[in-house]
Structure 1
Amino acid sequence: MIKQFVKGRVYVFIDAENLFYSQRTLGWRISYEKLIHYFKHECGKETKCFVYTGRDESNSGQTKFLDMLEINGYIVRTRVVKKIKDHKGGYKWKNNLDMELAFEMDDVKDKYDTAVLMSGDNVLS
């Protein structure tokens, strides 16, 4: 289905953190194993898939997830999440990889003909 929209070398950039929260809100579950196989089948074996997400080193489930991504051929970009106090006295976790994703898209623009951006964040739209 995506073949009609892409040409040449395809790079897929995935904002995994925002995509995670969007899929949770919608009740969806993305199979990252199937996703990379889909892109490589539809767009060619040379397709590269980059994943950007925060990393909580104390979260063993997340470590397993990141390992699975690498085993399946994703190029994983992470940043350790920061605990930030909010105005209500609680805490929220923040990593802000949006800019890194955008900068890398620009840095490697000569290496791809088509970029696919997946995110649940309207800032990147």
Structure 2
Amino acid sequence: MPLRSLVTRNLAIGIGIQNFPEGLAVSLPLRGAGFSTWRAFWYGQLSGMVEPLAGVFGAFAVVLAEPILPYALAFAAGAMVYVIMDDIIPEAHISGNGKLASWASILGFVVMMSLDVGLG
């Protein structure tokens, strides 16, 4: 089996596995709000039926946005690092784990950059 087919199959399986808890996250609150079991189940199913259409739209958008994609992904990564540094580390300082959080962030950044250089 070619590597690309294997990766595609594994990705599809991973997405499918992820959809089970996502469907539960939609259905269980509806059931708790008084919807019947079947009605809550079908609303959960309907929420998942949007994904293939959104996936096609997303693939089309990636093709159009391919020239700016590296910059957009870099911006998203920077935003995530900012959120961690701005929110998580100050909260860790309050609980006495500030140094651990700071060093773990630095170590994570070093590992990320090493993988980027090594694999890129």
- TM category (shorter chain) comes to under 0.3
For the pair shown, which has the larger CA radius of gyration, 1 or 2?
A: 2
**Which of the two has greater strand per residue?**
1
* Higher RCO structure, 1 or 2 (CA under 8 Å, sep 6+): 1
**Which of the two has greater helix per residue?**
2
